[in-house]
Amino acid sequence: MADTEHPQIYLITPPEIELSRFPSELAKVLDSTDIACVRLALATKDEDRLSRAADAVREVCHPRDIALVINEHVLLAERLGLDGVHLTDGARSVRKVRKDLGDDAIVGSFCAASRHDGLTAGESGADYVSFGPVVATPLGDGTVADHELFDWWSQVVELPVVAEGALDVDIVRKLAPVTDFFGIGEEVWRCDDPAAKLQEFIQSIK
């Protein structure tokens, strides 16, 4: 996940995937544009389903030199040869996970809209933090990571930041100058042609 002139795409899988179909869909998207990283973000807690999904997605990502991280499941990340883990509890477990996985692993931290959690996660060894959702939604507790947060972060903190949750083309255009990555998932996967939809986002970034 390297710095470039424009924000990069951090692709998030849907919460449910069909293994007979999704790997080919993912390959089409990855071949359509540059993707910095893929996050396996399934809703299931079933170890077998997670393992089979991770194996299938890894076989698409790694031949293309694209890193693959998994939501929360630190032990699976290590066991399945993934590149790291995306934590969803703010800064609470970053230090331990960094110690467990070592310096080479990617460790990311979702911090909702908390500057304090983001700064603490960075101090504890996170490679990036993510904030979101970027607009109000009926889901969660109503917390919104607004433009001011990303603007402040981009001016004060060097640690890469990801904007994710409830993105649309207009919001992406506005946030592009103040974020490093856009975490895009359901915004494209719920469309008939995810690769084409992703291109709309990319054009708005540029």
88 pLDDT exceeds 60? yes
Q: Would you tell me how many other CB atoms lie within 10 Å of the CB of residue 165?
A: 24
The structure tokens listed for 94 are 């970053």
Residues forming beta bridges with residue 35, ordered by sequence position:
9
- Asked if residues 103 and 114 have their Cβ atoms less than 8 Å apart, the reply is no
pLDDT score, position 147: 97
Chain CA centroid to CA 29, Å: 15
pLDDT in tens, 17-41: 999 999 999 999 999 999 999 999 9
The token duo for 65 is 């030199």
Q: Which two tokens stand for residue 160?
A: 């890469």
What's the mean pLDDT in 126-140?
A: 91
> Is pLDDT above 60 for 2?
no
Q: Mind listing the pLDDT tens digit for each residue in 136-191? A: 888 777 889 999 999 999 999 999 999 999 999 999 999 999 999 999 999 999 99
- Compute φ and ψ for 162, nearest 5 degrees: -115, 130
Q: Which domains does the chain have, with CATH numbers?
A: 8-205 (3.20.20.70)
Rounded CA separation 81/156 (Å): 34
**Average pLDDT over the chain, rounded to an integer:** 95
> Which helix H or strand E contains 26, and what residues bound it?
helix 22-32
Cβ neighbours, 10 Å, residue 130: 29
What's the pLDDT score for residue 160?
A: 98
pTM for this prediction: 0.95
> Quick check: helix, strand or coil at residue 107?
strand
